[in-house]
Amino acid sequence: MNKVPRPVFVVGNWRSGTTITAKLLNCLPQTHIAKETGFITESLELLKQVPAPQAMTPLLAHVNSWLLTNGWTGRVSFEGFDSFCQQTGFVGPRAFLYYVWTLDSPQPISELRWIGDNTPLYLLAIPELLELLPDAHFIHVVRDPRDVICSTLKLRFGAHQALIGAMDWNTCLGAWLMAEKYLEDGVRTSFRYEDLCTDSVPVMQQLATFLGFQAGAAELALQQQSVSSAEATGFGRVAESAHHRNLAKPLSAASVGRFRRGLTREQIRQIEVTARAGMLACGYQTGAEGLHPLATENRLQILRAMVEDMLRRCWSRMCGR
């Protein structure tokens, strides 16, 4: 049996820098972080049954639907999975996930030390991921919720109300803080997106050390990333989408603090009031006065924001935004 690469997930809230982190990691040797998959959390029971025939047919169909939606060139099949298992000796859910992740890999799996993907909201399913892959490692990216929400308000996915976006951010940060309590130190690490943009070398050194690479690997990866196209790192099709165009650009401090130009004063206030504790925990300063709506039992405000958010999401999807 070939050596087994270790699985690693890059997780965080939407629009927090998980994709650029994956692109950077792919500049490290023997590392392949695949594009977002998204199907794992929706196919947990099917994955647990691999390779049972009754599970494979719906699983393959569901996975191919995700791969098509997310711009993958490869597709899964019975024949391809069987061949992969025979070549590698892998079995069960690990075999299937590794099979999917290597579809677009420029390196054969026998040459990899690390393999995984960067689906952000797998953050909310870490216990379930550990059931499938007990040796999984996790890299968490956190970003100022004001910039996160400033970005998501323009997209067809994610929150369309500042209050709901702040509550989503709280949920994601809370999931990570709880994961830190049960994950061992050596299988998790976390950093701020702002630090990656403004002082990238120490952050990249942190990630390289976490993955077991020697001194110098981080600087070489940053140099390679600065001259490599998104296509060369496996994210060419991803960079074509409107919300991932920055993948083709160098890391820049200009990505930090955009909320000051993109959000209203009231939107900023709602975010800071709702996410204050988490922001302070992550080193983000707040200036707004007020209490979280739940602290004052103002559930009507939350309900109103939830209804407006749902209506705007439905409208955005109907309009194809």
Pairing of strands 114-117, 137-142: unpaired
Pairing of strands 137-142, 6-12: parallel
Question: Please, which residues bridge with residue 142 across strands?
Answer: 192
In 3-state terms, the chain is what percent helix, strand and coil (to 5)?
Answer: 60, 10, 35
Provide the pLDDT for residue 292. Answer: 87
**Residues with Cβ within 8 Å of residue 292, at least 6 apart in sequence:** 273, 274, 276
Which fold would CATH assign to domain 6-35+104-255? Rossmann fold (3.40.50)
Judge whether 156 and 312 are in contact, CB under 8 Å. no
Provide the pLDDT for residue 99. Answer: 97
Provide the pLDDT for residue 250. Answer: 67
Q: What is the dihedral of CA 111, 114, 118, 124, to 10 degrees?
A: 150
Judge whether 139 and 21 are in contact, CB under 8 Å. yes
Q: Which residue has the tokens 């196919």?
A: 43
Provide the pLDDT for residue 239. Answer: 41
The first and second tokens of residue 231, run together, are: 């296509």
Mean pLDDT by 10 residues, the chain (321 residues): 84 92 94 93 96 95 92 92 95 96 93 96 97 97 96 78 93 97 96 95 95 90 72 51 54 86 94 95 89 85 84 74 55
Provide the pLDDT for residue 244. Answer: 46
Alpha carbon distance 44, 127 (integer Å) = 12
The first and second tokens of residue 266, run together, are: 């009231």
Sheet architecture: strand order including 137-142 = 31-34, 114-117, 6-12, 137-142, 188-192
The first and second tokens of residue 21, run together, are: 């982190």
Residues 19, 181, 173, 250: is their CA dihedral positive or negative?
Answer: negative
User: How large is the C-alpha radius of gyration of the chain?
Assistant: 20
Helix (H, G, I), strand (E, B) or coil at 312: helix
Provide the pLDDT for residue 280. Answer: 95
